[in-house]
């Protein structure tokens, strides 16, 4: 008796709040499908403009997506030669050599394995002197705009609904939608979750640089990945609740037609 091979097709295909939602039996299948979409978007941008500009995320969620992209590159199916990347966020302050830095993560999971030019792999810089952080963040938004804007933004979602490190607040929605890239304080739930990498909550660097809500929403396409039951609440509130700054993921409803969610059945529990 053999277990049936996992279906490459989404188990379910839903729509909520102008987003398309693909629900897969497990996270590995979802990551494979998300890698297909990622590679297709990259290919279309190369065809249309001769180059592609990609917004990348870190964390546990996209690790298998990056592994799948690296495997495609090794098979000669995917090249990053004409690609520029911009990461979503970085702890502040942090050394790029710190294994907990997102620069280190990106190097380990993607950059050292593919043919991306070193001066086209951009991250917010955790070493910028504090007096120049605002200028650095504003400059990062200008770099993306000067590069023609993001063809694709990859996102995970926090248990508290954060996207990038745009954390829940009580701001009016219109104000949050206009937020640029900036230095932020991490929310207690984000700090609790980051204790996984930092060893203890008190050790977590409490601030970070994050791409703003405005440049995230300006991407031409947005892929959101969420796996596991601990994301089910944030996913359901983002997709079926009202748009509110208390659930930053719900602000993705403001760009109908741009967003595709790749979920496993557990993360989709509140939608099915």
Catalytic residue among 87, 125, 136, 160: 160
Q: At closest approach, how far in Å is the CB of 57 from ligand F6R?
A: 4
Asked if 59 is part of the footprint of ligand F6R (rule: CB under 6 A), the reply reads yes
Query: Given the complex with ligand F6R, which of 29 and 61 has the nearer CB atom?
Result: 61
Q: Does residue 60 belong to the site contacting ligand F6R (CB under 6 A)?
A: yes
Rg of the chain in Å (alpha carbons): 18
Q: According to the binding rule CB under 6 A, does residue 93 interact with ligand F6R?
A: no
Rounded to a whole number of angstroms, the minimum distance from the CB of residue 164 to ligand F6R is 4
Candidates 29, 41, 58, 250; binder of ligand F6R (CB under 6 A) is: 58
The catalytic position among 90, 167, 193, 264 is 167
Is residue 197 part of the annotated active site? The answer reads no
Q: Is 230 a catalytic residue?
A: no
- Angle value at C-alpha 68, between 67 and 72, nearest 5 degrees: 115
Which residue has tokens 């398309």?
20
d(CA 266, CA 27): 9
Nearer to ligand F6R, 46 or 183 (CB): 183
* Residue 88 binding ligand F6R, by CB under 6 A: yes
Q: Is 162 a catalytic residue?
A: yes
Q: Is 57 in the site for ligand F6R (CB under 6 A)?
A: yes
Whether 202 is catalytic: no
Tell me: does residue 89 bind ligand F6R (CB under 6 A): yes
Residue nearest ligand F6R (C-beta atom): 156
Cβ pair 173, 243 in contact under 8 A:
yes
Contact between 248 and ligand F6R (CB under 6 A)? no
The tally of CA atoms less than 13 A away on the side-chain side of residue 106 is 22
Q: Rule CB under 6 A: which of 137-196 touch ligand F6R?
A: 156-158, 162-164
**Binding residue for ligand F6R (CB under 6 A) from 29, 41, 61, 101?**
61
Binding status of residue 55 toward ligand F6R by CB under 6 A: no
């Amino acid at each position: 008796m053999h277990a049936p091979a996992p279906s490459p097709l989404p188990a379910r295909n839903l729509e909520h709040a102008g987003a398309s939602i693909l629900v897969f039996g497990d996270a590995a299948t979802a990551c494979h499908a998300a890698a297909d979409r990622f590679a297709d978007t990259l290919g279309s941008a190369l065809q249309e403009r001769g180059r592609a500009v990609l917004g990348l995320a870190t964390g546990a969620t996209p690790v298998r997506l990056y592994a799948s992209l690296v495997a495609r590159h090794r098979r000669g199916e995917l090249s990053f030669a004409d690609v520029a990347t911009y990461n979503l966020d970085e702890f502040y302050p942090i050394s790029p050599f710190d294994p907990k830095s997102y620069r280190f993560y990106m190097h380990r999971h993607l950059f050292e394995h593919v043919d991306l030019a070193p001066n086209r792999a951009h991250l917010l810089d955790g070493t910028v002197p504090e007096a120049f952080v605002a200028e650095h963040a504003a400059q990062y938004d200008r770099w993306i705009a000067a590069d023609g804007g993001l063809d694709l933004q990859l996102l995970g979602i926090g248990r508290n609904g954060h996207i990038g490190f745009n954390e829940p607040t009580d701001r009016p929605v219109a104000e949050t939608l206009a937020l640029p890239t900036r230095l932020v304080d991490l929310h207690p739930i984000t700090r609790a979750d980051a204790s996984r990498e930092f060893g203890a909550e008190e050790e977590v660097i409490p601030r970070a640089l994050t791409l703003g809500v405005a440049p995230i929403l300006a991407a031409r396409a947005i892929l959101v990945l969420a796996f596991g039951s601990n994301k089910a609440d944030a996913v359901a509130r983002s997709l079926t609740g009202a748009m509110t700054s208390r659930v930053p993921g719900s602000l993705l409803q403001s760009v109908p037609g741009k967003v595709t969610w790749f979920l496993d059945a557990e993360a989709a529990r509140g939608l099915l």
